[in-house]
Structure 1
Amino acid sequence: MTVVEADSVSPKNDHSNTISEIKKFQVDLNEEYLNAEETPLRGDNFRKFKGHPFFPIDLKYRVTAKFEKNKNPVPFELPTSSGKSKSYQEYGKATFLLGGKPLTVNIYQSLDLMKTEEYRDHLFLPFRDLTNGKETYGGGKYLDLKIPEGDMIVLDFNLSYQPYCAYNAYDYNCPIVPAENKMDAEIRAGVMYDDVYHH
């Protein structure tokens, strides 16, 4: 299978739009966590929260991947942090190069969300990488995607975030990253993590 290096083929004038999108993601995420009605934070963690730490925006971590759709997806139960499970199907695989290293991840679709108008084109990429437990949450990170129109898909890890369980292990059950999505690479992009929430 042909793999594609980082998204260096995009016109330079597209980069400003991409960076604006990433900055908006950061602002929106902070606003969500600062909103008492939306935040997963509780008690002192909420009162002390000023904003997320983020890796510097780096378009090296925005990659155009070769996408192979699963022609016959089989529903399965994805374990969560609470011991329960959530229903997904493996929608396809994305293969790309990062720093010259070929990587492949599975991309999933929620069987519940696909029934809704708002999220029926929503895809889910849970992943782990070599920053976990150091600069990012030990349980990995998530990336939200849309169903691609063709056989390519953009994975912008600058938009990756920690699950709610990283900040509140009591009120949420978060999908556990499957073993096949553990990447032998450092993804130094998106939200960083300061583990002050589990002490």
Structure 2
Amino acid sequence: MKYLFSILLLLSTLNCAQKLPVVGDTSFQLELNSEFKDASKSPLKAKDLKNFKGLDFFKFDSTFVVKAKLKQTPDSKWFKMQTTTSRLSNERVYGILLFELQGQAFELNVYQGKDLMKEEGFTDYLFLPFLDNTNGDFTYGGGRYIDLRIPSGNELEIDFNTAFNPYCAYNEKYSCPIVPRDNYLDLEVRAGVKKFHD
């Protein structure tokens, strides 16, 4: 009977361990950690998923939430963006985002995917990849991405606290667009997801 009780206690402990709450300080962090914990959606390898508790994030910093002016480039041509595999991604520069960050003026190209825009829920999707001076030390060496949507006017908000790593930062089987060198910010963006430590 004592042996049976011990087994039941062990199973109960294991069951509780599997149902640990999702961690995160913001809705973005909670959502991303929830996705990564879900084996059906997670880009993590099985060995990393087994012990996954949550991604590392910089503390939320409101100074990394900026208003940007969107200068559209309607005549831009579609081109083949390089990825981490032999696949080429059909992209175009949808526009140029002009904004100030830490007292400096910056411009970043924001992209639209030819194939992705045909999918349900992605008709107004914009892709903002960027490099900064944290890459390789605090963040993924290949840069990070931010998801955006086409605004109704010519302004939109860029929240660098929602910067995330491409899936290939966790698993080399994924094919991820390589951040164009034009989208380099010459400062440290200490916001969003940090480098993954497996």
TM-score, with structure 1 as normaliser: 0.85
Of the three residues 126, 129, 133, the one matched with 1:126 is 129
Q: Matched residue of 2:136: which SS? A: coil
Letter of the structure 2 residue corresponding to residue 136 of structure 1:
T
- Structure 1 distance, partners of 2:122, 2:196, is 30
Tell me the distance in 1 between the aligned counterparts of 2:133 and 2:35: 27
Give the structure 2 partner of residue 82 of structure 1: 85
Aligned to 2:142: 139
Q: CA deviation at 1:25?
A: 1.1
Q: Which residue of 2 aligns with 1:7?
A: none
2:73 to 61, 70, 74: 70
> Aligned runs of 1:1-199 on 2, under 5 Å?
23-169=26-172, 171-196=173-198
- In structure 1, give the amino acid aligned to 2:104: K
Which has the larger Rg?
2
Deviation, structure 1 residue 120: 0.2
Paired amino acid for 2:151: P
Structure 1 distance, partners of 2:112, 2:194, is 25
CA shift at 1:194, angstroms?
3.4
Percent identity at matched positions? 43
CA contact (8 A) 2:145 2:163 kept: yes
Structure 2 residue identity aligned to 1:106? N
- Give how far 1:188 is off: 0.7
Match of 2:157, SS state, is strand
Gapped runs of 5+ residues in structure 1? 1-21
* One-letter amino acid matched to 1:54: F
Distance 1:194 1:159 in 2: 16
- CA-to-partner distance for each residue in 1:93-148, whole Å, 9 max, x for gaps? 00111111111100000101111231000000010100000110000000000001
Gaps of 5+ in 2: 1-24
The SS at the match of 1:65 is: strand
Paired residues, what number?
174
Q: Name segments (4+ residues, structure 1) moved above 2 Å.
A: none
Question: In the TM superposition, what is the alpha-carbon distance from 1:153 to its structure 2 partner?
Answer: 1.4
Q: What is the Cα deviation at residue 83 of structure 1?
A: 2.4
